[in-house]
A and B are shown apart, each in its own frame.
Chain A
């Protein structure tokens, strides 16, 4: 075991995977010699050579398109898009190609790729360094969508994603790279070294895809969260004194519906929280499922606390970001409903 930040855990996952399987290749913008703008691939080129870890031209569709071709050949590319905000030029390759290759070729060609991308706000990233585009991927059949919230899960989920036979969109909340963040921007950030989930095995292990984790057991209401919002939920539970059960979804597609349904059936109330914008966001799918499977157990309407339906602003960072105050307010209203 070792103390790792999320960055180190992600790097370790690629290191372990590259050492175990020589078909694993890693590339993207600034990923090679420099080791990535967030240091996630630092040292990999030096360790595995330029043909296993290399810099790519600034072309997201090129990076993902080339990875799909490599996967069709038989490699397992784990590629990086520098910010999730810049994945859109690759959207055609991801949606029309990676997601459908197995289906349309009846399994003749498959696409075991991972597309890693830093996601989320809370860092004064403005409009193009803060977005949470997960709903654009959860709407696509054939993809898997993963969002870790801590170093342990980040490593285990990334190794599982690299080993998965299907394409995985791996969204890394960059706000969590160096330490957990509960939305209290006025307080100093604690590093991962002070958090139990900063304890990560050095070698190979996996956290299975499609399995949520109950981060806090509770009986009053269920909070469905992922990424940075897991810590916002923990803070809101403590501050409101509401005995909330907090579920870290970890994988959005395929979704661990059983864990969600069991929890809401127990608590009878549900609050969904995500950074992404409200309308047609992933919370809408969660709300629809909870309504469908827990209708007779619900004691109040399902609440959604999310980013506003605006582009992500710069100066208004903390009025936009769904912090513990907003979530706490929704929890109180849900309890009173």
Chain B
């Protein structure tokens, strides 16, 4: 059982994410829809993480705590998916290959169990990053 594994990360749409976003980015629905990382059960086994427990995802650009879930749409071993939004963009590398488009899909991440770590709210992540987070929810 490895302590960390390297997976190839993509960030994409989901209809739950679209609906939650229109409900509002500060709602519990948006939190539930977007603070998740879908990965193949084989990869979870390799890492010894249980379904629906928290993991730390780290890329060259940053790190974020999200909940590991089994894919709602089949994801092959080696590939991981965070739905686009606040949590995904904590780890999306801003490099654009001189086209303006960041590396939203296809970047390496390490994933490790983080059962006791808390998932931060969208506001805490974004306001925290720019130094205006005042606490609370």
A, B from the same assembly: no
A residues neighboring B (CB under 8 Å): none
